[in-house]
Amino acid sequence: MKQHTTIAILGGGGKTGTYLVHELLNRDYQLKLLLRQPDHFTISSPSIHICKGDAIQYESIRELVQGCDAIISTVGQRPNEPLVASQATNHILRVMEEFQIRRYIAVAGLNLDTPTDQKSTRTQMATDWMKTTYPIIHEDRQKAYEVLAESPVDWTLVRVPFIVFTEERGTTEVDLVDCPGEKVQAPDLASFLADQLTDTRYYQQSPFVASL
């Protein structure tokens, strides 16, 4: 399998994205980051190229992805702003087809539903809470999954519980039908996302990831 060397990152300026950027730099990848406010970004490295733009803008996605070998998104929904998940996913898939890029990895909440799920009572309660509390955001995330499910690209949608922003690492557990834990430590998530650049096991699947 081709070794991915230049990675396009959406959400690299956020909390989760910052851990991912450090992890990928430690693995000697070249990175292109899409940032709305580059002046606020504090990581400095000759391996980082920054594109100023927004994930809901097609031209921003196109500029970001050109010349890259794979794409990782940790973009979350911004309060009181336009929905981002399905719109960004459509833009990404369109650009991937244009530039003949195969690999796309993204992060979603454990509330996302797939046809093969066997969610425990605990996971289903968290899912129902999200659906009730943030119905529009949930529907947009679900729509993004449905778009991916129809796509022929090598996508992986990583589903996570509560993210703990710490420097500690735990034992990572992965499950395809139910979330194996109540939290995931940010370094563990970053490591798992980076691993997916060379791991084919979860192509066109939505694994749950947690730290134990």
Interval 175-207: pLDDT, tens: 999 999 999 999 999 999 999 999 999 999 999
**Predicted confidence (pLDDT) per residue in 91-134, tens digit:** 999 999 999 999 999 999 999 999 999 999 999 999 999 999 99
> Considering the entire predicted model, what is its pTM?
0.96
Q: Which domain holds residue 57?
A: 6-211
Give me the phi and psi of 94, to 5 degrees please: -65, -45
- Domain membership of residue 190 (yes or no) is yes
Structurally, the chain folds into a number of domains equal to: 1
Report the C-alpha gap between 151 and 163 in whole angstroms.
Answer: 28
CATH code assigned at 153: 3.40.50.720
Dihedral sign computed on CA atoms, order 179, 17, 29, 91: positive
